[in-house]
Amino acid sequence: MLKNHSENIRFEQFTIEDLNQVDTLIKLTSQAILPFSSLRLASFLNNPRALISDVILIVAYHNETLIAYRTLLPDDIQADLTTIHFAWLSGIWVDNAHRHLGIGKKLHQMAHEAWEGRLIGTEYTQQNAEVMLSTGFYTQNVKKSGIIIYYKSPLEAVLIKRMPNLNRIRSILKLTDKLIDSFGAIKNTITKPLPFDEQYQFKLSGGLNAEAINHIQEFGAYSTTNRRSKELEWIVKYPWIASDAEALMQSKKYYFSVFAKSFSTQFLEIFFKGTLQGIVMLTVRDGALRIPYIFVKFKELDTTAKYIQQFAEKEKISKIISYHSLLNKELIKWGKRRLFYKNTTRSYMVSKSLIGLTKLETLVFTDGDGDCVFV
């Protein structure tokens, strides 16, 4: 552990090995604010790509009270024939009473030093992006285009999130959503069913069998992180979201995702004439569907998109969020039962040190890369 002292503020960093020590965990979890949930800790400690010497947590104390933390998620990049070990910036929090003191910037600097600059961040807030750029360590040139397809009206959720004062007319917004959804339901009654080739069969599974694992292993690289069945099984076994009472309780002490009313992960297996053609990973959180990973050949994307639309209708999905550009074209083409869709963009903050080890244009990410797949 490394300790720095400055005006009663003390910083500590912890490796995988440190967080396997009972005394260390007792000390960290006895704080009023948790630096990780029990679910995230289990995921961190079982990460198949993590080394025991990897720094995955940096905290700041003021008079022994935890006032800030930064977590990191170890991963690997496949660049040419070289494997580069790096970390995703997985979460940062600074207590309101101690903001604007440079603590967040110090956490970034310590993470940069611990990982020799091999860092990437995504799904960050604008405020966090400004802090990261102020360090001079990062460039913000990697972007990924996506779409959000809405099957239910998001008016209430979107407006209240942007303008909390509208909470006083929440009942009116709810009624408006219901009216819009009713219009969509009427439209769907006259929309023709999606056409399917009868030679295709589909199966949903909670895990990967031997045939599915072989398909994934043989599919070939599809992103720079080159995650395979071992990593996917880890993701499914150690999610960061739960729907039980313990998760709800921890959500009051941990300021990142812990609790959801519903959260599930499934694998879609696509067969043609009885032969496995593709695997698609699907996650659903409170009615929102994401597609973290696809192992499907181009010629099967049409059929894949049609099944996903059918799945969305059956499961009463409120929206699909997807960053797979080729699949998205098919989702738009076959999404006749949607209310509307919009384009979106995911940005990646890549450290300059990492770019020095590989070319920026070679960094290709899929939807599940980073820690997005866990939440």
pLDDT tens-digit readout, 191-241: 777 888 889 999 999 999 999 999 999 887 778 999 999 999 999 999 999
pLDDT tens-digit readout, 12-54: 999 999 999 999 999 999 999 999 999 999 999 999 999 999 9
The model carries a pTM of 0.91
Neighbours of 32 (CB within 10 A): 8
pLDDT at 159 (0 to 100): 80
What whole-number distance in Å separates Cα of residue 123 and Cα of residue 90?
9
Mean pLDDT, range 329-339, rounded to an integer: 91
Query: What three-state secondary structure class fits 141?
Result: strand
pLDDT at 5 (0 to 100): 45
* pLDDT grade for 6, boundaries at 50, 70 and 90: low
pLDDT at 2 (0 to 100): 47
Q: Are 216 and 295 in contact (CB under 8 A)?
A: yes
Residue 91 predicted with pLDDT over 50: yes
Residue 114 predicted with pLDDT over 50: yes
For residue 324, give the amino acid letter.
Answer: H
Mean pLDDT, range 144-149, rounded to an integer: 95
Query: Which domains does the chain possess?
Result: 3-144 (3.40.630.30), 147-345 (3.40.630)
What whole-number distance in Å separates Cα of residue 21 and Cα of residue 28?
11
- Which region among 3-17, 94-108, 143-157, 314-328 has the lowest average model confidence (pLDDT)? 3-17
What whole-number distance in Å separates Cα of residue 15 and Cα of residue 50?
10
* pLDDT grade for 3, boundaries at 50, 70 and 90: very low
- CA count, 13 A, side-chain hemisphere, 310: 15
Q: Are 297 and 269 in contact (CB under 8 A)?
A: no
Nearest to 290 by CA among 271, 263, 310, 258: 263
* pLDDT grade for 161, boundaries at 50, 70 and 90: confident
Residue 289: which residues within 8 A CB-CB, separation 6 or more?
282, 283, 308, 311, 312, 315, 317, 319, 320, 321
Q: Are 269 and 307 in contact (CB under 8 A)?
A: no
Nearest to 69 by CA among 154, 10, 135: 10
What whole-number distance in Å separates Cα of residue 158 and Cα of residue 180?
15
Q: Are 11 and 3 in contact (CB under 8 A)?
A: yes
Residue 365: which residues within 8 A CB-CB, separation 6 or more?
122, 142, 144, 223, 224, 225, 348
Residue 343: which residues within 8 A CB-CB, separation 6 or more?
145, 146, 147
| Average pLDDT of the chain, as a whole number | 91
pLDDT at 7 (0 to 100): 65
More confident residue, 157 or 35: 35
Residue 182 predicted with pLDDT over 90: no
Read off the tokens for 326. 């080729």
